Amino acid sequence: MAMAMASVQLGRQTSIQDSPRSPEAKLGMQVEDLWDVQEPELSPNEKLNACFESIPVSAFPIAPQGIEIKSDASLAEAVQILAQNKILSAPVVDVDAPEDATWMDRYIGIVEFAGIAVWILQQSEPSSPRSPSSPNGAEFAIAANGMVSAAGLGALGPEDASITSGDFFEALTSSEFYKNTKVVRDISGSFRWAPFLALQKSNTFLTMLLLLSKYKMKSVPVLDLGDGKIDNIITQSDVIHMLAECTGLHWFESWGSKKLSEIGLPTMSPEHIITVYEDEPVLQAFKLMRKKRIGGIPVIECGGKKAIGNISLRDVQFLLTAPDIYCDYRSITAKNFLIAVRNYLEKHEKRSPMLSGMITCKRDETVKELIQKLDSEKIQRVYITDEDGNLEGVITLRDIISRLVHEPRGYFGDFFDGVLPLPENSRV
């Protein structure tokens, strides 16, 4: 028996040595080695928790380049940086911070598309003093790390978003107000004394996975306290890509071979899915996403239950970077938005999640199949449909990560309550 196990282990090692492995796959092999030495009486879920608690977050592959936005950048420049680099958010660096500044003095906060969406919603309200025709531009605080400050939800108008004409955003982006709006220096942070929640390189992989799942963070900065700078930023998409690269490893196959229903996915019943109808204003989609704290929303055909497309928070960029594509529409509905953006992308960008249409799956698919689909399509969510194409559920990256690990009792201790006091409306 021992010889057989040794033979299997040797075969696995030989196979691994003979084939090139990505950095993510090599990380998965660390988990594999730890998996093999766990106590046999532990459940598979407990084994995974123990494995991830033994690996420092510094082991995660470093992103190719860290994108940062300077504190004196305009809103227009910030939008371009996020769009061009295909990222959801970026840290804001204080241009006046000394070279030897600590990370809390070097960074001001985080700019993300969620905050930019709120800014757009405020400009679209008829009573807003910050309309495109306003002669005086003023500095405007963008939401930091999911928290709303000057762009607060309470400042938004009625329940339904305003209908905008096809030339509204072209007028907005060409106005002096838009050009002069700044990523302000007094941007609010997520915590009372820190610009954002971050991990040290010595924190564990388990801590990072829990923050990206149970605690709803889209990304986690990892700090190098020595030079006071961000060493890495790990996103939910990065974790899903790592899992996709672990195909063939025993620990991943034992978990990934399970059907979605076996691990409790989807978690949401059809009647609780937040949707927008195709004839509603596109801003209603972004308003619902912001109000419900979700990153995407399906567009449903009028009078039916079938989805014709998906709008995500990152798609708000197309209202500001390509405002002229809507000029032929009397009003920008959710359907018009999807059509205009797809036509634009077909001409300017051949590979985009929006060109893939509505990505769906069935309940009997496996976790591995879903992970590979999410990774290859570079999307944040997939919709469960029945045989007739009607919506039955939604599964996000966060949902999958939350099924990979669990939070042990008392794991964080005073990590949130004492060390990092949270404001009342923080998302964590």
Q: Which CATH number fits the domain that encloses residue 357?
A: 3.10.580.10
Between the alpha carbon of residue 421 and those of residues 191, 197, 203, 303, the distances in Å are 6, 10, 19, 46
135 lies in some domain: no
Q: β-pairing, 360-361 with 381-385?
A: parallel
pLDDT at 208: 96
Residues, the chain: 428
358 lies in some domain: yes
Q: What is the pTM of this model?
A: 0.85
Q: Please report which residue ranges of 181-311 form alpha helices under DSSP H.
A: 205-212, 236-244, 250-256, 282-292
List all residues 6 or more positions away from 355 whose beta carbon is below 8 Å from its beta carbon: 342, 345, 346, 349
pLDDT at 119: 82
297 lies in some domain: yes
Domain count, the chain: 2
List all residues 6 or more positions away from 37 whose beta carbon is below 8 Å from its beta carbon: none
Q: What is the pLDDT of residues 143-168, one digit of tens each?
A: 333 333 333 344 444 567 777 888 99
114 lies in some domain: no
DSSP string, 46-57: HHHHHHHHTSBG
208 lies in some domain: no
pLDDT at 112: 85
pLDDT at 412: 83
CA nearest 424: which of 142, 112, 154? 154
272 lies in some domain: yes
Which one of 32, 55, 78 terminates a domain?
Answer: 55
Structural domain boundaries, residue 367: 253-404
191 lies in some domain: no
pLDDT at 113: 86
Residues of the chain with pLDDT under 70: 1-20, 65, 126-159, 183-194, 350-355, 414-428
18 lies in some domain: no
**Tokens found for residue 301:** 């055909």
CA nearest 225: which of 106, 351, 124? 106
